[in-house]
Chains A and B, each alone.
Chain A
């Protein structure tokens, strides 16, 4: 478990979480990136840029 950097809520991720995975904060809905798994660390995922997409 780690804190949401946006709203400070407790965020849990699955045991199979991997570095770089995107999760949503259950409280504020912010998109978070798993930056470390042991110990778990979360950062705000980058905002979409112009050339993002499929």
Chain B
């Protein structure tokens, strides 16, 4: 279903003039029923090839219905354009329509019921700046129309002189012209905006009579130079003075070349800012020529490049700094690309290879080193390239003289701006001297450690000997004291003994009571004598009668000596004597005394009976024992062979607090008269005189074990 372009209603076209009549067919041609003209427009017109599919939307403001109808007819007849006409009779109505819909062009009479004369145009123009306006006027007020055109109307048409073709052309031109104007305005605004937003300082110099004349300064001049346009205008020489003294000649040269018709490249020079500080600027000058090719003016653009210049200078300084570093370091420095070709070598490395840098760049290790070395170097490089890791090593090389040289090598990857590895950088330096010092230091250190160990050992021995000496001193003085005491006690005992002897004889037949008293006195004397004897045993310095003895025989004999005691106390003896014990050089009587002492102690510890274990065996020592109390060191060292005798009981054990005191003379826990407190001290002394050791300790689960270590006789 087609719709009518004039009315927008579906169905056949409506005549643009009468609005009601539809075209009729007569003589094979469609004609408007009202006017009889061929209906070439609208729905009846075949599709156009002009591409002008969209009708031109026209707002017609015209209070004369006749004029309006005429214009409709003219536009409707156009074979090139299609128009969609909205017709109103009053300005207010027109403005209202403008506010509601879009129009491509406005045709407006100036004499309207609600507005007359130029005011009609002005109001319209103020209301719709973006739509071209064509003014319609009568022949009597053409001047008014001309004025409207001057004020911005696209065209004016004089009623009565309008024809169809002229009207369409006027409308299409008005639209085109209006569009062009709009584009121009847009462009102007754009450039104006652009120019205003440039912070650079632009200026323009007019050439008058071949000489520079009027100068205009852009708004950027304040920020770049510190001076305002007014200041430049007030002092014509200010501009040139502003140029840094050293650069004035170059600036003058640039101006000269411009005036000579050349196009000089941008000049970088310094100016002195109003604040007194020198600034770097980039000064571009462009010449403008008139149609004759003569210079009419030139424009300058001055940009502050102080920051950039400073960055450049910093870069140069930094370059110089690193260059100096690289060339003055005592290290060899080199760079290679991914193909193992040298891209850099510092002077030291060049000197090492004995050729200038140009002959090194582009070459590989194979050009300078033996193949196996070159292969190794490249292997290291490839490791760095593959892993991105730093490679550090100390290479051992041999000098032609045969001595070992040490070289410390560090290789690191080189990256490009994208973070891709593009090669490696190597730094190496000779550390032979340092290495030699290290080796010497290490040797010295080892020697020092060895002598320190020896020192420590001898210190320990000394300490042990000192402890023994102190203890021996102590024992010696106790011994002297004991001997004195014993002697002084024995004499009164001798007197008592004589007295008791005498009384016994004299009172031989006396009553039992007296006999009992004398007997007890006699026993008391014996006891006191035993104590003093023990004391003397302990304190005496003795001569040993050393003979090679079988310890097992000795043990058996000792057990026989005490078998009566063992039997009465119901003590079971477990013997475990090692076979083929080596002979031991001992004073048999003394060792027997020691064994008796130890066994008696065990018996006393088992008043309710128990088991006495006696063992003998040989063993290689795994720990050393330093024992105190003898001048004759009883040192056993780890690895020494020893013959061991153990006497162990299942008795009461030694209270922890007493363990440290058991070798002190006179220390005893036995009832008075049972022990003298000298058994263990004497035993220990005897064993130590034999160069052995005696150790007494509690056994887990109760009981005590005494361990005697003796040296086997040397075969």
A binds B: no
Q: B: which residues have CB within 8 A of A?
A: none
